[in-house]
Structure 1
Amino acid sequence: MKKIALLTALAVVLVVLGVYQSNAGDGTAAIAQASASRPELKHGLAVPSFSLKAMDGADYHVGGPRDKPLIVNFWASWCGPCHEEAPDLAQLYERYKGEIDLYAVNVTKGDSLKDARSFVKQYGYRFPVLLDSQGEAAAAYRILFVPTSFLIDKHGNLREIIHVLPREELEKRIQSLIEA
């Protein structure tokens, strides 16, 4: 039953994204077009580097070695599955914050800052929320739809790309990332 619900949600996301892209002008379409010209992300290899300003005003960097593994979650406030996974991300971050970092990257170029702030407040995000206002990080990571999360080890290498998962499965993936 969970599989059917997940597949249905994925189908809805793809339809909504298609409609959104056709109506978004150069915003989301530009991200998809730029993504198509980037090399494919490969498991076990270094992820693209980027730096973005967060809602808290600080600058955050992704790429290269770090003290803890990192989850980079691309999302948008208009995305139904993003709302579905948000409570799980918030809970799991609180549980594992000493062992992982989590950056929620809002695809601000295709979203509204006001709506993004409301989303963050609604779900009580206590981890950095980065603003991809130019769409450069989304392009570098070849984001075609949201939510998409990248599990990155301490060496800055891609371990896994995931989409919405049940909380238990997401937790297993986080534990594996920590152990890697």
Structure 2
Amino acid sequence: MKRSLILLAIVLILAGAAVYQNNGKHDDALAASSDVRPKPGYTAPTLTLPDLKDQNVAIGGKQDKLTLVNFWASWCYPCEMEAPDLQALAKEYKGKLQILGINATSLDKERQAREFVDQQKLTFPILMDRKGNAQELYKVNSFPLSVLVDGNGIVRERVQGVIDKSKWQEMIDKWLDAAIEEKASGNAASKAS
């Protein structure tokens, strides 16, 4: 009996969450909890990690641009395959897209991670997840893993593994266009009132 009540409560909570999430308001997206991995429509977890110069960089939350958060390790061959495309995207979308590379430093050697950055000639910010906090919050269980987060801090895409640069461009363009439309409709609404 007790078990049935608990299951009923869980079903009602999930149904309520689904209705709440699908009401079309970006600011009201559900926050990712410890048992749910950040996925499209959910708020990206927020935290701060040091970059290669030990300067703290904020991840998640409202940002002034679309953000691509990429989790990688120096020993990960698919990460090595993906790195040139990420660097090309950083140059192509400069000013419109922020790429943050998060090294799984808790599972990697920091010296090797720095060598990887130098070898790949990566110019976008590289953050060091020395304690594994970011991996835990973003539920990273294999590499590479990338999360595309809009300016409102909402996860729009979650990509496990490597995808073609053209597929990235398609996703990035889609969410950049959505941000322009949202801004335009917000400006039109403010003018009308």
State the TM bucket, normalised to the shorter chain. Answer: 0.7 to 0.9
Q: 2:170 aligns with which of 146, 169, 172?
A: 172
> What is the CA-CA distance between 1:55 and the residue it aligns to?
0.4
Which of 122, 128, 131 matches 2:128? 131
- Identity in percent: 37
Aligned to 1:5: none
Tell me, yes or no, if the aligned pair for 1:71 and 1:100 is still in contact at 8 Å.
Answer: yes
TM-score normalised to the size of structure 1? 0.77
Is 2:87 the partner of 1:90? yes
Provide the rounded CA distance (Å) in 1 between the counterparts of 2:91 and 2:48. Answer: 24
Whole-Å separation in 1 of the counterparts to 2:75 and 2:51: 19
Give distance in 1, aligned partners of 2:82 and 2:65.
22
* Structure-1 separation of matches of 2:72 and 2:168: 16
- CA-atom RMSD, angstroms? 1.4
Alignment of 1:46-61 (within 5 A): 46-61=43-58
Secondary structure of 1:154's counterpart equals coil
- The reply on whether 1:159 has 2:128 as its aligned counterpart is no
The alignment status of 1:120 with 2:124, answered yes or no, reads no
Q: Could you list the runs of 5+ residues in structure 2 that have no partner in the other structure?
A: 1-33, 179-193
Q: Within 2, Cα distance between the matches of 1:161 and 1:48?
A: 13
- Compare relative contact order (CA 8 Å, sep 6+) and give the higher one, 1 or 2: 1
Residue 40 of structure 1: how far off its partner (Å):
2.8
The CA distance in 2 between the partners of 1:83 and 1:135, in whole Å, is 20
Given that 1:152 and 1:177 are in contact with CA atoms closer than 8 Å, whether structure 2 keeps it comes out as: no
* Cα distance in 1 for residues equivalent to 2:110 and 2:176: 32
Matched, 1:105 2:102: yes
TM-score of the superposed pair, with normalisation by structure 2: 0.72
Q: Is 2:39–2:157's contact at 8 Å kept on the other side of the alignment?
A: no
Q: 1:178 to 1:135 in 2, by over 3 A?
A: same
Cα distance in 2, alignment partners of residues 95 and 57 from structure 1: 27
Tell me how far 1:63 sits from its aligned partner: 1.9
Q: CA deviation at 1:177?
A: 2.4
Farther-moved stretch of structure 1 (54-63 vs 86-95):
54-63
The counterpart of 2:142, out of the listed 142, 145, 151, is 145
